[in-house]
Chain A
Amino acid sequence: MWNMLRKHALRATLLFLVSCLTVCSPFTATAQPPKRGAIDVRLRLAQSYERTGDFEAALKLYQELYKQDSTNYLVGDALRRTYLQLKRYDDAIALLEKIIRFSPNDVNMIAQLGAMHYLKSDEQKAAETWERAIALSPKQPSTYTLVASSVTQSRLFDRAIAIYHRGRAACSDPTLFTVDIAYLYSITLKYPEATKEYMSYVRQNPAQLGYVQSRIGMYTGKQEGLAAATKIIEEGVQSESNNLPFQYLLAWVYMEGKKFDRAYDVYRSIDENTKAGGHEIYNFAQRALHERAYTVSSRAFQDIVARYSSFDRLAETKFGYAQSLEASDDESDTLKLFGSTNPFPPKERTEADPRPLYTGAIAAYDRVVTEFPKTELAARALFRTGIIKQEKFFDLDGARSTFEALTKRYPMFAQIYMEGTLRLGDVYLAIGALDKAQAEYQAVAGHGLLTNPLQEQAALHLAEILYFQANFKDALEKLKSLAGNAISDATNDALSLQIFIQDNLKQDVAVLKEFAKGDLLRRQRKLPEALTIFESIVQNYPKSDLMDEALINIGDLLTHMTRYPDAIGTYERLLKDFPESISLDRTLMKLANVYERGLRDSPKAIATYQKLLEQYPNSIYVSEARKRIRELRGDNI
């Protein structure tokens, strides 16, 4: 409403101004041609009407102005535009034909006439008119640009492509209009044709490789686009094997499709052809490592080492190789239901690679340490080796010597030194050298405020040692300060141990001491010894509150020892005999895991997970149990 009122008000004002102008110049009206100034004012007035959307008023003025001066291009074009706005296509066509009569060789105007016929839904006339425009200068590339542009405006993309192709043939230049044609093919979803054109453009302008990648990248996000681009580029490389930009394009499109193996073959060839001395392979290897394509990244790093002995980033290359090997062997247990180590068998080696897990990674890290002993990478390599020995091989002596070497040789790299010291403490603890462990932890924790996660972790370990030593009072004191820090990662573990000690201190301290002993043995991975302790607790203290925890530990130890039926029996005993235990949901979860991953008995695993859902609907494990059931059922979720 407001718009309409405003429009009327503006119109009235403008008409008044024009009237004033007319009244003020009574003698110029008819006898003489209008003065330039008067035309300008009327033109501006018409343009104002047009801008406000009052096309009828604008048209009236434009028509008058055109009548007075039909050679004025500005007026003629404005009149055509206004006819178009008012959908008066016949008038627009008549006007254009009149203009064309004055300049019969104006390709642009004839092309526009064609578009106008098309708007009028007279496709045949439109086609004839566009042909007429082409016929004017059939050897001029600009003719085809103008006509195809007019056709494109009419959104007749296929016809525009055909016109460009005709132009190429007529001008005997197959490189003409490449980008235009490629773009039209891409928006009409003809990805193979678009890719062919873009490849042709790269052939003409190798420096435009990045631009072409970005254009092709507009459709490689879709499966059909990616497949089409890959196929065409492969064919291109096959027919022009020496075309380097094509090879880059192929490697890039393989990476887009996560076909790292194939991409690597191409990068190797590029590296050779460009005499890059391994840099192309290195960049590829880093990206593949980042993308978790470990097999191919390790191959690439290894190839650099084999081919380019004087490569300037050899340390990073060898470290990258070791990282790739370690990561490909790695298997994680995210729930950590059975502690920090996964009790179930790791993935099996293939026949092609029968090496025991992680041996390749350790050897690769060793080479970094030996060959680049002064670098931080050597320190990191030692650190990773120590972790593998400690966590994967349970080779505590090996881990100790590795971490000792790290802390002795690399105090200058503060972060890795601290991490190594903490780990060394863990290893000392595991081999029973509690004093040494304490010293290492203390070195990390310091004596002041705990300001970083490593210090907090060290402080937690110090409290654990006190617990293992049956010094419960001091352990509680230490845990108290840790448990108060709500934002620390160590808080949960600290709280859990604090509550455990507090609850059981009220009972029989002797049992707690035994339990702590068993816990230490378990930490040290002395599984049979730990099992004996926990079994003795079960036997000797049947009334103890720690019975359920002891049974869980027995079940866990048996699981680690792959004595699955015994583990199941223990967990089931706990479920049956200790219905008041707060660990029943955890026990059911463990039981289900043993069925699923140990015995690979899906029906029993499902039934156990369902039991968990049924009996403990508020357990923290329900979400995982649901997920596991649905995966085992094969639900499509």
Chain B
Amino acid sequence: MIADSKRKTGDIVRYVRDLALIVLGSLLFSLCSALYAQKILIPMDLKQADHLKAYGIAYWALTKNIEVDWLLNYRGGSFMLDGVALLATECRVRGVTFEEISGAEAAQIYSEVGAENTNMDAVRLEKAPKIAVYVPPNFLPWDDAVTLAMEYAEIPYDKVWDDEVMQDKLLKYDWIHLHHEDFTGQYGKFYATYGTAPWYIEQQVMYEKKAKELGFKKVSELKRVVAHKIKEYIASGGFMFAMCSATDTYDIALASENTDICDVMYDGDPPDPGAQKKLDFSQCLAFENFTLEMNPLRYEYSDIDIPPSDMVATLDPETDYFTLFEFSAKYDPVPTMLTQNHANIIRGFLGQTTNFKKSLIKKTMTILAEKEGTEEVRYIHGNLGRGTFTFYGGHDPEDYQHQVGDPPTDLKLHKNSPGYRLILNNILFPAAKKKQQKT
């Protein structure tokens, strides 16, 4: 009995000893691995040969289940990945600059990034976001800066249109981009210039057909419902990114729920003369107290856009720049992610909606970039329910004044575009693991 008990005690001791040895061994192994394992650092500062494709590599790595750490404010918002040979090859093939570093060097970087006295942080990207672009069926990738950027960076995306939105298929996606859509149902207010152009006529007929198919008498009514559906998608945890006229027209559509702002050439009947007074700004995501532009022949929707589209001649491309705000990486990781860049001052570019008038932006919004000393805000971000949205003014960051029919921008010539980087920040941002904020 005693012998049995002693034997059992001896077994337990041996077991504990073995276990301790295993744990110690594992710890030592992990430490050695951490110190000597290869890591790949994709710098995003001026050393990077192709910033835009670098985002594509980060996305590609996520699709291969390689974890990516986004080092906010470290060398322009660099990426740290496990040093897999496949990854290095892919970086080389795609022309993305990378550095092979040891585990010890990586540990040093993490330590620097995590230090309390630096405005840096590491955010783990976990899963390649599933991306949708809201585009009409006759869409061409070169119509739109976001799709151009995704095509160039080789980030896959699905196309969705009104049918999918109405069938609540947006919920399948982590991120949606609104192609430069006019949610007011005024077809971009191109009537005065392109009213007789075949593409314009066809677009209007196609939109009207779709509206009727989906049970709406007017396109504006359908678009308003679509805008609401997208709002629901955001509130339920989605990420929405809009550029150019998709920003202000989206909010205008939401605000004009109880009125008709479209003139006869757009929806077959005159607008409500009291439309302005009937706007419900509480429905809007980002703007309030704006005044509609009711002249159907004027290429402008409201006074949100500054300067107005027909007065852009007052801008001088040589002096048109906007500045990114700096946020606390540790306390405000979201705006920090959205503003990662290797340049703080970015060359401006026009769009149907170029900048947002500061006084008309809701106080709940975060301003990410603006033209210093003016009312012109370029880049804003906000939250709605469990989701977020970002509005970015202008049409094409590398084509100052892009016109209908202009050739597409060749991003091979703009691999380091800071303006395009802001778009791609938004695409990776939904991949970030949510972590407890240090507030």
- What residues make up the interface of A, taking CB atoms closer than 8 Å to B? 1, 53, 55-56, 84-87, 119, 121, 153-155, 157, 187-189, 218-219, 222, 610, 613-614, 617, 622-623, 626, 629-630, 637
Most chain A CB within a 10 A radius of its CB, from B260, B269, B294: B269
Contacting pair A85 B270 (CB below 8 A): yes
The interface residues of chain A lying within 8 Å CB-to-CB of B92 are 610, 613-614, 617, 626
Contacting pair B205 A187 (CB below 8 A): yes
- Would you give the shortest CB distance from A77 to chain B, in whole angstroms? 15
Q: Give 17 A-B contacts (CB < 8 Å), ordered by A residue.
A: A55-B273, A85-B270, A119-B268, A153-B268, A154-B268, A155-B268, A188-B205, A189-B209, A219-B198, A222-B138, A610-B89, A610-B92, A610-B93, A613-B92, A614-B88, A626-B92, A630-B93
The interface residues of chain A lying within 8 Å CB-to-CB of B138 are 222
Taking CB atoms and an 8 Å cut-off, the chain B residues in 79-96 that contact chain A are 88-89, 92-95
The interface residues of chain B lying within 8 Å CB-to-CB of A219 are 198, 202
A153 to B269, CA, bound (A): 10
Partner of B269, one of A55, A84, A157, A622: A84
Partner of B95, one of A1, A56, A86, A622: A622
Contacting pair A187 B202 (CB below 8 A): yes
Contacting pair B95 A85 (CB below 8 A): no
A189 to B206, CA, bound (A): 8
A622 to B89, CA, bound (A): 13
Please provide the 10 A-B residue pairs with the shortest distance between their CB atoms, ordered closest to farther.
A613-B92, A218-B198, A85-B270, A187-B205, A119-B269, A187-B201, A629-B93, A155-B268, A55-B273, A626-B93
A153 to B270, CA, bound (A): 13
Contacting pair A87 B272 (CB below 8 A): yes
The interface residues of chain B lying within 8 Å CB-to-CB of A153 are 268
Most chain B CB within a 10 A radius of its CB, from A87, A222, A610, A626: A87
B208 CB within 8 Å of chain A: yes
B399 CB within 8 Å of chain A: no
A84 to B201, CA, bound (A): 24
Could you give, for residues 188-220 of chain B, a 1 whenever the CB lies within 8 Å of some chain A CB and a 0 otherwise?
Answer: 000000000010011001101100000001000
B326 CB within 8 Å of chain A: no
The interface residues of chain B lying within 8 Å CB-to-CB of A154 are 268
- Would you give the shortest CB distance from B287 to chain A, in whole angstroms? 17
- What residues make up the interface of B, taking CB atoms closer than 8 Å to A? 88-89, 92-95, 97, 138, 154, 198, 201-202, 205-206, 208-209, 217, 260, 268-270, 272-273, 291, 294
Contacting pair A86 B273 (CB below 8 A): yes
Contacting pair A189 B205 (CB below 8 A): yes
The interface residues of chain A lying within 8 Å CB-to-CB of B97 are 617
Q: Which A residue's beta carbon lies closest to that of B270?
A: A85
Partner of B270, one of A84, A613, A614: A84
Given contacts A187-B201, A189-B202, A630-B93, contact A85 B273 (CB under 8 A): yes
A85 to B93, CA, bound (A): 62
Q: Which B residue's beta carbon lies closest to that of A119?
A: B269
- Would you give the shortest CB distance from B45 to chain A, in whole angstroms? 17
- Would you give the shortest CB distance from B150 to chain A, in whole angstroms? 13
The interface residues of chain B lying within 8 Å CB-to-CB of A55 are 273
Q: Which B residue's beta carbon lies closest to that of A217?
A: B198
Contacting pair A626 B294 (CB below 8 A): no
- Would you give the shortest CB distance from B298 to chain A, in whole angstroms? 12
13 further interface pairs, Cβ-Cβ under 8 Å (given A157-B205, A629-B93): A53-B273, A53-B294, A55-B273, A84-B270, A86-B273, A87-B260, A119-B268, A154-B268, A155-B268, A189-B206, A218-B198, A219-B198, A613-B93
Q: Which B residue's beta carbon lies closest to that of A123?
A: B217
The interface residues of chain A lying within 8 Å CB-to-CB of B201 are 187
Q: Which B residue's beta carbon lies closest to that of A53?
A: B273
- Would you give the shortest CB distance from B263 to chain A, in whole angstroms? 10
- Would you give the shortest CB distance from A157 to chain B, in whole angstroms? 7
The interface residues of chain B lying within 8 Å CB-to-CB of A614 are 88, 92
Contacting pair A626 B269 (CB below 8 A): no
A153 to B217, CA, bound (A): 14
Contacting pair B270 A87 (CB below 8 A): yes
Partner of A188, one of B93, B209, B273: B209
The interface residues of chain B lying within 8 Å CB-to-CB of A617 are 92, 97
A85 to B263, CA, bound (A): 9
A218 to B138, CA, bound (A): 15
The interface residues of chain B lying within 8 Å CB-to-CB of A157 are 205
Q: Which A residue's beta carbon lies closest to that of B88?
A: A614
The interface residues of chain A lying within 8 Å CB-to-CB of B208 are 155
A420 to B272, CA, bound (A): 76
- Would you give the shortest CB distance from A192 to chain B, in whole angstroms? 16
Contacting pair A121 B205 (CB below 8 A): no
A530 to B413, CA, bound (A): 42
The interface residues of chain B lying within 8 Å CB-to-CB of A187 are 201-202, 205
- Would you give the shortest CB distance from A3 to chain B, in whole angstroms? 8
Q: Which A residue's beta carbon lies closest to that of B91?
A: A613
A155 to B202, CA, bound (A): 13
- Would you give the shortest CB distance from B48 to chain A, in whole angstroms? 13
Q: Which B residue's beta carbon lies closest to that of A54?
A: B273
A218 to B205, CA, bound (A): 15
